[in-house]
Structure 1
Amino acid sequence: MARTLIERGFDPERIVKIYNGMDFDRPKGEFDRVAYLRDTYGAEIEDGDVLCGIAARLTAVKDIATTIRGFAEALKSAPQLRLFIAGDGEDEDMLKKLCDQLGVRERVTFCGWVSPVMPFFRAMDINLLSSVSETFPYSILEGVCAGCATICSDVGGMPELIDTGENGYIFPVGDDKRLAEYLVRLGNDAELRQKFADALYEKASRDFSRDKMCERQMENYRHLLARFHRPKNERESIVICGAYGRGNAGDDAILEAIVQEMRQLDPERTICVMSRRPKETRLIYRTNAIYTFNVFSVLRKFRHAALYINGGGSLMQDVTSTRSIWYYCYTLYAAKKRGCKVMMYGCGIGPINRPGNRRMAARTIDASVDRITLRDDNSRALLAEMGVTRPDIRVSADPTIILTPAPREIVNIALEQSGIDPNGKYIGFGLRNWKGLDTALPEIAAAANYAYEKHGLTPVFVPIEFPSDLMPAERVGALLHCPWHAVRTRQPIEVTIGILSRMKTVVGIRLHSLMFSAGQGVPVVGMSYDIKVDGFLKYIGSRTCLQLSSVKAEPLCRLIDECVSGALDNEVHRTAEMLRERESENVKGAAKLLNISEN
């Protein structure tokens, strides 16, 4: 519902979600489910039967047909399953015919309208939901309270309740094959059912109780009152600028991290993002957003902003174009001129090759920026070389280091959808088109073949900018004589990080393929096309870096050997901890400029 309102133009920061809360006191007393089901529905239960229940109207939006198809498929591997359907509606005859067609009618019981519903859920082992649309359904919470393990479709607020593979399973809407797989797993594993039921009860009773619902609503009122009582002319908002809205997972990850940190710092401040795709940004990040190059809108935002954040990423460079560095410098000047505090946040500097651009950037940064946090030592050296001395400059780390990978089961699903066995052994590649790639392709392919033959590692190409990074992947793949895979669909940032975390080592041209991997303790081999790649690898003390323009298979294979051997494991894990610790400089800098005391 929140997504729908935002798509229709409502302000994302004036929308809050209020989840259904309920009393999670477990039912007391002994319960004879065999007698209950026999006396109430005439169903005879045998020892060893695993009972699946769904409580819903028998209507199209509940998509009970998917439940029945998934159940029929699951019976082939878990014949002890039984299905109980509680509810009535216009689809009842059709659903009974579907059971007949699939040959499962004897294992399915239509219970009709059920009231009270708690005894029904107490009789079940697994609670199901297959709706195509929901908000936050009580039937799931009631099943949780009764002690059921849970499988439900990916609707409404369910992903915020259920962590797939940790306390339940979520399957794509209409995907009866995935539902069947999860039914088989739970049907054949009583210990897993109990583990999921206990874990979900613990989370639901903690985060989705009636008391928690009231607490959230009270917080909403406090938030509303705080905003209402702000002086009309007080600067309170934060404007964030970067290379956002272009489909690059690295830049998107930077934005997600900065927004997350600013909301933790002061949840009452509004945030506006300068983006190439403001509608998409509003929907994904739940912030206000304006088009990056709509100068008049940008200037209006600066007049009411307390802080302008430029970054992260490498905005101050003239390799891609001179116009971009002039524009970003103009925004620094304009924000300061209109009274904002100005911060360059977890960023990289350079290369800035043209003398005129260097002079202009140095003058602007010195005159307009209050604080700079940098993601590598090379950037600090370049600022010193340019003569930038006035801002408070600290070396930190890329903001994306704070992001965590998606849950294991979600990553497994993404891998399987790309035809990749989640339990395989892999070497990852993060490639991009760049000058010098043509001569490097045969060398990269030779190293990938070597990793497969010597270490049994299948190459997996993970795009950071989608879909452009698939082109170099295909070109290398055409030269391979070993199996290989590519992630061919755009994935959420956390899933991309999770995929890279599964690699034994990652060979990358893309900076964020290296950053995401190193942050998860995966050894990396860099093929540098830019000072920012050299700077990052030097910053983390890595010796595993080659220049893209002179990549050869033999040294690349040696570096892969070193990464795979385990000799670097302790060093890599220390590096990951160091990056997370240093990243806190970014938030400390913003807190100081906003006059927020650090906890």
Structure 2
Amino acid sequence: MRVMHVMGGGDVGGAKTHIMNMVTGLSRRNEVMLLSFRAGPFADEARERGIDVRVIERHNPFRAARAMRDLVDEFRPDIIHCHGGRANLMGAMVRRSRQVPIVTTVHSDYKLDYLGNPFKQHTFGAANAVALRFLDFYQPVADRMARTLIERGFDPERIVKIYNGMDFKRPEGEFDRAAYLRDTYGVEVEEGDVLCGIAARLTAVKDIATTVRGFAAALEEAPQLRLFIAGDGEDEEMLRRLCAQLGVAERVTFCGWVSPVGPFFRAMDINLLSSVSETFPYSILEGVCAGCATICSDVGGMPELIDTGENGYIFPVGDDRQLARYMARLANDPALRCAFSEALYDKASREFSRENMCARQEANYRHLLARFHRPKHERESIVICGAYGRGNAGDDAILEAIVQEMRALDPERTICVMSRRPKETRLVYRTNAIYTFNVFAVLRRFRRAALYINGGGSLMQDVTSTRSIWYYCYTLRAAKKRGCKVMMYGCGIGPINRAGNRVMAAKTIDRSVDRITLRDDNSRSLLAEMGVTRPDIRVSADPTIILDPAPREVVSLAMEQSGIDPEGRYIGFGLRNWKGLDAALPEIAAAANYAYERHGLTPVFVPIEFPNDLLPAERVGALLRCPWHAVRTRQPIEVTIGILARMKTVVGIRLHSLMFSAGQGVPVVGMSYDIKVDGFLKYIGSRTCLQLQTVRAEPLCRLIDECVSGALDGEVRRTAGMLREREQENVRCAALLLGLKCEKKDGENA
């Protein structure tokens, strides 16, 4: 692969380290040219590493762009990779005349790059903001920056992530930090001093003032602390005055610009970061490599590196009080510092090495090249329609599962979701999205789509609304008319009560749908009753079965934030408002009290549709004699699944509370309000189902006894495996419609 990297040439700090590590690593297996718009140390160092470096020193941007075009013609790169504002501007100017894909790495928030300098913000910053809109692809360093770009209107399908990486080889040999600090900065440190260091430019975006305020507060509990600030910038005088005002000037050392930074971090016990905006700062990785414990602000990709309380601490941006508490805690606990340092080094060296970064970069290039060179006239996209964007965790889980499976099937295809909240959908699922009822936008998408998926759930029903079944039938007809392959994906059918709706739905499905996969046998029977015969119909499983719970520590943290001990023993409840619930409330409460008194299981109410499901939880809670908990904040789908997986058994009205639990091997007791609940429990061979209108405490307690006894554990585990296996029928059918091969996984039936 031939790659041209383009940079301004004056890059410093993390951006410089990232580019140097990247071009050095890539050059081992690819042809790399580094184009710089300034001569100097960066270009010289790259040459010393054997990189082909070209320098264009032109102040006139038009002449510089002409010179860059000549180099593009000479080198003939497969892809051009820009870094920084000037490189982005040159890339945008060259892109118009050269058919080479251009990707830019977003190293920082371009709106904050010149914070505190209005002139540069409104000149260089504004030019960069405009140039970014004219590039092909964007590569943010960390997920949070990707979210920021999507919020600002950048196409999520043109964004790929990268993470900074470095060589985590620990420095060898003895290191006398007292001598280093005395000889380099003229500072004497005493035995027992705990040294905190921060390496950053002294500018507003780095918010060093928060570090100073936190340090001053921490000294009250840990007077052995000392602070070393490595860096220079326009805020230095302000920070010196702040230290004097807080009375900590004697315990703070301003080191100026430090290079190399390795020895500096070897001298420190704690590495600090207090920025208001970052992506994935190298200063943290350098500290990890040197063996520092780490405290940083909640910015960029730090939550992806640091698990608070496990291998470091993360504090809210600007919260100097929380920073002070963490600094004092680490200062007074040497064993905790050591444990955090080792745990973070183990994770960082495993997941954020330079080799991993370069391998990820090459994979990103291959992905972007495939996207860029796909024929412009080809019908390649997938449009997904369903009850999305309404805050229901079950529907959201269906969408997440379908998107996950379609991307695994063909990563180069674009996806567009019809959603009630398209902005939120773009942000969460990283797909394109249009408003569900923007008919003209929907029809335009159909003209370019290869496949239209009428997404899982029970869309074909008229219990909640006749208008919805009319609309979904309309989209099926419109998609087929405009040349799409049409699939109903892992769905449920019914109930459809009105005779006219049955006739309309049957005719539409027969004429417009190519393949149908169903999540239960009841739905297949209903289609047969309606006279649907033409599409290829298969029984599979709900797509959400494939979703895995969040990591254990993430689920534990979410439970703790809801006041739930992660190590406790619980019975879960997934309730919803529905006709017949009022009469059932005392019976459910009696069963919950029984589970606590007989089995020691504390009730936990887990909402599937937030916040609507909290009301029935509160109503049951008011009738309880035992302690109980509710998850009172909206959680990501994987966290909700993880919480349900911690339950000894789950009693559910909500269908997806039962599906999520059964998929994790947790015994379930259903209280059916709809044929879809009966259908699912019948499909998995469950005997533990009651009708909501006739729920009584005594049979409900008997079913809880059976679930808690362990007698059903083997059957439930087999059911979970069976559902995951059958769910693959959804993917196989989609692959056939797209003309793709779908490899059979081990243990699956053909």
Do both share a fold (TM > 0.5)? yes
The within-5 A match list for 1:225-240 is 225-240=369-384
Residues 285 and 348 in structure 2, CA contact (< 8 A), matched pair in contact too: no
Structure of greater relative contact order (alpha carbons < 8 Å, 6+ residues apart): 1
Aligned position for 1:200: 348
1:432 deviation in Å?
0.7
Q: Which letter maps to 2:686?
A: S
Residues 169 and 182 in structure 1, CA contact (< 8 A), matched pair in contact too: no
Aligned position for 1:3: 147
Aligned position for 1:300: 444
Moved more, 250-259 or 560-569: 560-569
1:328 deviation in Å?
0.8
The within-5 A match list for 1:236-255 is 236-255=380-399
The within-5 A match list for 1:66-465 is 85-87=229-231, 89-90=235-236, 92-93=239-240, 96=243, 109-113=252-256, 114-162=258-306, 170-174=314-318, 177=322, 180=325, 184=329, 188-189=335-336, 190-191=338-339, 193-205=341-353, 209=354, 211-465=355-609
Aligned position for 1:492: 636
1:57 deviation in Å?
4.2
The alignment's TM-score, normalised by the length of structure 1, stands at 0.89
Q: Which letter maps to 1:385?
A: E
Aligned position for 1:20: 164
Q: Give the 3-state SS of the residue equivalent to 1:259 in structure 2.
A: helix
**Cα–Cα, structure 1 residues 43 and 503, in superposed 2: closer, same or farther, change >3 Å?**
farther
Residues 71 and 83 in structure 1, CA contact (< 8 A), matched pair in contact too: yes
Q: Give the 3-state SS of the residue equivalent to 1:309 in structure 2.
A: strand
Q: Which letter maps to 1:475?
A: R
Name which of 669, 674, 692 aligns with 1:525.
Answer: 669
Residues 228 and 255 in structure 2, CA contact (< 8 A), matched pair in contact too: no
Q: After superposition, give the CA deviation of every residue in 1:562-592 in whole Å (9 maximum; x if it has no partner).
A: 2222332222222222222222222222111
**Cα–Cα, structure 1 residues 394 and 146, in superposed 2: closer, same or farther, change >3 Å?**
farther
Task: State the distance in 2 between where 1:473 and 1:213 align.
Answer: 46
Task: State the distance in 1 between where 2:209 and 2:580 align.
Answer: 54
1:213 deviation in Å?
4.3
1:58 deviation in Å?
5.2
Task: State the distance in 1 between where 2:699 and 2:588 align.
Answer: 11
1:374 deviation in Å?
1.7
**Cα–Cα, structure 1 residues 18 and 163, in superposed 2: closer, same or farther, change >3 Å?**
same
Task: State the distance in 2 between where 1:425 and 1:83 align.
Answer: 45
Task: State the distance in 2 between where 1:181 and 1:530 align.
Answer: 51
Q: After superposition, give the CA deviation of every residue in 1:247-273 in whole Å (9 maximum; x if it has no partner).
A: 111111111111111112111111110
**Are 1:44 and 2:212 an aligned pair?**
no
Task: State the distance in 1 between where 2:359 and 2:410 align.
Answer: 19
The within-5 A match list for 1:543-558 is 543-558=687-702
**Cα–Cα, structure 1 residues 198 and 18, in superposed 2: closer, same or farther, change >3 Å?**
closer
1:24 deviation in Å?
3.8
Q: After superposition, give the CA deviation of every residue in 1:443-474 in whole Å (9 maximum; x if it has no partner).
A: 11111222222222222211111111111111
1:340 deviation in Å?
0.7
Task: State the distance in 1 between where 2:667 and 2:222 align.
Answer: 41
Q: Give the 3-state SS of the residue equivalent to 2:271 in structure 1.
A: strand
Q: Which letter maps to 1:203?
A: E
Q: After superposition, give the CA deviation of every residue in 1:421-455 in whole Å (9 maximum; x if it has no partner).
A: 33332222111111111111111111122222222
Q: Which letter maps to 2:180?
A: Y
Residues 388 and 399 in structure 2, CA contact (< 8 A), matched pair in contact too: yes
Q: Which letter maps to 2:528?
A: A
1:198 deviation in Å?
1.3
Gaps of 5+ in 2: 1-144, 744-750
How many residues matched? Answer: 590
Aligned position for 2:684: 540
Q: CA RMSD in A?
A: 3.1
Q: Which letter maps to 1:349?
A: I
Task: State the distance in 1 between where 2:362 and 2:201 align.
Answer: 33
Task: State the distance in 2 between where 1:523 and 1:503 align.
Answer: 9
**Cα–Cα, structure 1 residues 61 and 499, in superposed 2: closer, same or farther, change >3 Å?**
farther
1:165 deviation in Å?
6.5
Task: State the distance in 2 between where 1:71 and 1:406 align.
Answer: 35
Q: After superposition, give the CA deviation of every residue in 1:4-29 in whole Å (9 maximum; x if it has no partner).
A: 33223222212333443434444343
Residues 462 and 497 in structure 2, CA contact (< 8 A), matched pair in contact too: yes
**Cα–Cα, structure 1 residues 99 and 554, in superposed 2: closer, same or farther, change >3 Å?**
farther
1:361 deviation in Å?
1.5
Q: After superposition, give the CA deviation of every residue in 1:489-519 in whole Å (9 maximum; x if it has no partner).
A: 2111122222222222221111111112222
Percent pairwise identity: 82
Q: Which letter maps to 1:197?
A: Y
1:307 deviation in Å?
0.5
Q: Which letter maps to 2:495?
A: P
Residues 451 and 560 in structure 1, CA contact (< 8 A), matched pair in contact too: yes
**Cα–Cα, structure 1 residues 224 and 59, in superposed 2: closer, same or farther, change >3 Å?**
closer
Moved more, 275-284 or 495-504: 495-504
**Are 1:478 and 2:478 an aligned pair?**
no
Q: After superposition, give the CA deviation of every residue in 1:365-393 in whole Å (9 maximum; x if it has no partner).
A: 12211122222222222222322222222
Q: Which letter maps to 1:112?
A: C
Moved more, 128-137 or 323-332: 128-137
**Cα–Cα, structure 1 residues 148 and 438, in superposed 2: closer, same or farther, change >3 Å?**
same
**Cα–Cα, structure 1 residues 94 and 539, in superposed 2: closer, same or farther, change >3 Å?**
farther
**Cα–Cα, structure 1 residues 29 and 448, in superposed 2: closer, same or farther, change >3 Å?**
same
**Cα–Cα, structure 1 residues 261 and 34, in superposed 2: closer, same or farther, change >3 Å?**
farther
Residues 602 and 627 in structure 2, CA contact (< 8 A), matched pair in contact too: yes
Q: Which letter maps to 1:413?
A: L
Q: Give the 3-state SS of the residue equivalent to 2:418 in structure 1.
A: strand
**Are 1:30 and 2:179 an aligned pair?**
no
Residues 162 and 200 in structure 1, CA contact (< 8 A), matched pair in contact too: no
Aligned position for 1:467: 611
**Cα–Cα, structure 1 residues 55 and 193, in superposed 2: closer, same or farther, change >3 Å?**
same
**Cα–Cα, structure 1 residues 126 and 392, in superposed 2: closer, same or farther, change >3 Å?**
farther
Q: Which letter maps to 1:44?
A: V
**Cα–Cα, structure 1 residues 112 and 422, in superposed 2: closer, same or farther, change >3 Å?**
farther
Aligned position for 2:129: none
Residues 81 and 187 in structure 1, CA contact (< 8 A), matched pair in contact too: no
1:594 deviation in Å?
0.9
Q: Which letter maps to 1:56?
A: A
Q: Give the 3-state SS of the residue equivalent to 1:290 in structure 2.
A: strand
The alignment's TM-score, normalised by the length of structure 2, stands at 0.72
